Structure 1
Amino acid sequence: MNLLFYLKKRSTYKNGPVTIYLRFTIDGRRAETSTGKTCDPNRWNTQAGRAAGSKEETRVLNAYLDKLQSRAQELHQLMTSGEETVTAETIKNRFIGKAFQSRTLVAIFEDHNAKMKSLIGKEFERSTLQRYETCLMHVKDFMQLNYDVSDIPVSKINFAFIVDFEYYLRSVRNCGNNSAIKYIKNLGKIVRICLGNGWLIVDPYLDYKPKQNAVHRAVLTKEELSRIKEKKFSMERVATVRDMFVFSCYTGLAYVDVCKLKRSELIKGTDGNLWIYTSRKKTYILSRIPVLPAALAIIKAYENHPQCVVKDTLLPMMSNQKLNAYLKEIADLCDIRKSLTFHIARHTFATTITLNNGVPIESVSKMMGHTSIKTTQIYAKVLDHKIGSDMQKIIGIVD
């Protein structure tokens, strides 16, 4: 900590004594307060930070400033040994006698969630807020169980707190590895807020290196997709669900994005072909997708559907719960031994329709509206027949 006494002149200053201020500097951040004393600029030694001269009033003033400096240094030592969060602002507040208000984890977490709630539909989805609310609930339960408290100062959040919270999630809450790490990351955002505001000095995540397990993502093979496409269904509703699913297989659009797809988002591209230009609801990133013949046929089949006409949408979607219930029935009827859900269509687009047919991963990433190629790599699972086909190309070359 650096301390500096200096004269602070007002913008309207002309002449006469000037108020002496004390500046606290810690880690490059400053805070200042008035000493309540004044000094004529002509009698002030800027380098020494004291009044110059040998008069009695000068000695009294300098002695007072010496006492203030000693008090500030003692406070700094006291706060450091007490494991308080020591910043220029906190030590200034203690110095001037302002009641010390410790920032607490739950209070900051609740403030974060309240702000996120006000931005639902603008910057965040409700599902994102629900995850942070669940994380806060877990944090509260963890603190009550481990420390018998309902809240703690953020200065108490350290590496051990993070590790113990992870153990609580895995043991008491029975969370799997990836679920536990997602909650740890949610808490990490709150920690970054504290670090950014200077309420927490040391990052407790500095030595914490979580590793998510690779997730097996089910996809349909070309043959399985053909079976679903060609199957004749007696119930119109089941046939409609099949069409919605197949449309997603050929566009890569998630359920929420198909639901909000407007007719105006079907655009003729510079190549003369039809494209879908739509922003992903999850990331707000623009997806530009060339419309394949199979997807276009489905669009045309439903262009006069009453629901599409009234809502100005491309397809007559229903609730995700109903869709998935019908998809299980479709899987049984088509002899597909996979737990069929609507999201499998998106995985199928990434793998069976595009990557395994030689579409570069950069193009697939753009069409799927991913923020990173790494995300696309998670979706992309190269099938055995693609590996075999690629290896066939070198037979005769390496013999």
Structure 2
Amino acid sequence: MRTTQTFSISFFTRKKKNQPESAILYARITINGKKLEISLKRTIAVDKWNQASSKMMGNSPEGFQINKKINEVRSQLFKIHDALQKEDKVITVDLVKSRFLGTDQEHTTLSQLIEYHDTNMGKVLKYGTMKNYTTTGAYLKDYLKTTYQNSDAYLKHIDYQFTLGFESYLRNLEGLHNNGLMKHMERFKKLMRLAEDLDWIEKNPTKRFKLRFDSVDMVYLSKQELEKLKAEELENPTLRLNRDIFIFACYTGLAYADVKALNKNHLQFGIDGKKWIYTRRSKTNTSVRIPLLEEAENILDRYKDHPKAEQNNTLLPVYSNQKTNHYLKQIAKKAKINKKLSFHTARHTFATTVTLANGVPIETVSKLLGHHKISTTQIYARVIDSKIAKDIDGLRGRL
């Protein structure tokens, strides 16, 4: 039950010590007999002040402005009192004064924003993505420490200059290239957009910052290189296994995490009565349905009884991503393929050499890859166009 409160507002002046003919104007708030004064920072002539009516006497412009200020402050203080009642606050003179001066609001810091993001998005985003956010957060804190000699900053103090400064700080880090730098800036922009959505800031200082990614040459295997890799005799069983799993990805387009997660439940019969893979992309949770090509099906049959696959209840005995990529470099060297292979090269190979180069429509390829937008798939089409142009240039020379 709300207790009855007495609330009153009055105005008075206090003479200046060195200028007795002048005085400072004050507002006094009283709640249940407790009083607190607020300086309105207005100087007035003592002989023009009427304490009985709490206003300036006369019709001078100065008197008009002072009396207007008094009315505005009185109205504002009553509104604050009403608002605090609606918020069901325990109203005190200190709280009313703090609200009037704007010092009662809790201003959120950058560290609090990062902590809020980690707590609430940790269950939504993938482990790898959250790991990247942790790195970006560490860079932001180090930037604060080295540039501003602070361990934290209020979000309201972060401006466009802070944003440009963070980019400059990242560019001075050894081993961080432009695209990696831009990914950190992208995550910083997303953090500040979250703060804006939460109404923690009125204006997003990173909105004007434009991300500038460099185009990267896409690594994929040509038809001849793919056949060469498949035919390479590998005595080492570990290399042979990793080569086969890589080939499987070349004929399914699945990313590393999705191949590793495959189990018997993902293998189903499709609309054509043949085996399909029904799964979801680990990165985007997008549903994908992939008809099994003969090369991929043969590899599944080859390893269906592998102890590691049976132990993990998976279709294939996949090594860690780091080890797999390490073995792929050895395999490429043995097969005399002068390309820096990684597991993701298989996905690029599926999109270019296996599908688009063989006339599969780009709309179908986009579905098989689990892309949300066909524009994401079109980068592979541009790669194919460049290959055609190169081949035709060679033909012109021979003709």
TM-score, structure 1 as length reference: 0.72
Task: Find the aligned partners of 2:343 and 2:359 in 1 and give their Cα distance.
Answer: 24
Q: Distance in 2 between matches of 1:226 and 1:330?
A: 14
- Classify 1:387/1:269 alpha carbon distance in 2 versus 1 (closer, same or farther; 3 Å): farther
Aligned to 1:275: 276
- 1:350 CA displacement: 1.1
CA distance in 2, matches of 1:174, 1:338: 22
Name the residue aligned to 1:116. Answer: 121
Q: Which amino acid aligns with 2:313?
A: D
Q: 1:383 to 1:234 in 2, by over 3 A?
A: farther
TM-aligned CA deviation for residue 65 of structure 1: 7.5
How much is the aligned-residue C-alpha RMSD, in angstroms?
3.3
Alignment of 1:197-216 (within 5 A): 197-216=198-217
Measure, in 2, the Cα distance between the counterparts of 1:191 and 1:177: 21
Q: Give the total of aligned pairs.
A: 317
Partner in structure 2 of residue 187 of structure 1: 188
Q: Which residue does 2:10 correspond to in 1? A: none
Consecutive unaligned residues of structure 1, counting only runs of 5 or more, are: 1-18, 21-34, 38-62, 74-90, 392-399
Tell whether 2:113 aligns with 1:102.
Answer: no
1:35-57 residue CA offsets vs partner (Å, 9 max, x unmatched): 999xxxxxxxxxxxxxxxxxxxx
Q: Which amino acid aligns with 2:246?
A: F
Distance 1:92 1:267 in 2: 69
Work out which of the two has the higher radius of gyration on C-alpha atoms and give 1 or 2. Answer: 2
What letter is aligned with 1:114? T
1:69 to 75, 79, 88: 75
SS of the residue corresponding to residue 251 of structure 2 reads helix
Instruction: Show structure 1 runs of 4+ deviating over 6 A.
Output: 388-391
1:305-337 deviation digits (Å, cap 9, x = unpaired)? 223333332112122222222222211221111
In the alignment, the residues of structure 1 paired with residue 78 and residue 293 of structure 2 have an alpha-carbon distance, to the nearest angstrom, of 72
Instruction: Give the Cα separation in 2 of the matches to 1:253 and 1:264.
Output: 16
* Residue in structure 1 matched with residue 154 of structure 2 by the alignment: 153
- In the TM superposition, what is the alpha-carbon distance from 1:262 to its structure 2 partner? 0.8
1:285 aligns with 2:286: yes
TM-score (norm: length of structure 2): 0.72
Q: Distance in 1 between matches of 2:98 and 2:357?
A: 63
Alignment CA distance shift 1:336-1:207 (3 Å): same
The amino acid of 1:255's aligned partner reads Y
* Contact 1:362-1:373 at 8 Å conserved across structures: yes
Q: What's the CA shift string for 1:375-396, capped at 9, x where partnerless?
A: 32345521645347899xxxxx
**In the alignment, is residue 301 of structure 1 matched against residue 306 of structure 2?**
no
- Deviation, 1:294, is 0.8
CA apart distance, 1:154: 0.7
The one-character-per-residue Cα deviations of 1:207-246 (angstroms, maximum 9, x if unpaired) are: 2222211111211100000001112222222221111010
Encode CA deviations 1:111-156: one digit per residue, 9 max, x unaligned.
Answer: 2113333x1xxx2221111111111111111112221211111111
* 1:69-119 C-alpha deviation (Å, 9 max, x unpaired): 25599xxxxxxxxxxxxxxxxx997239873322111121122113333x1
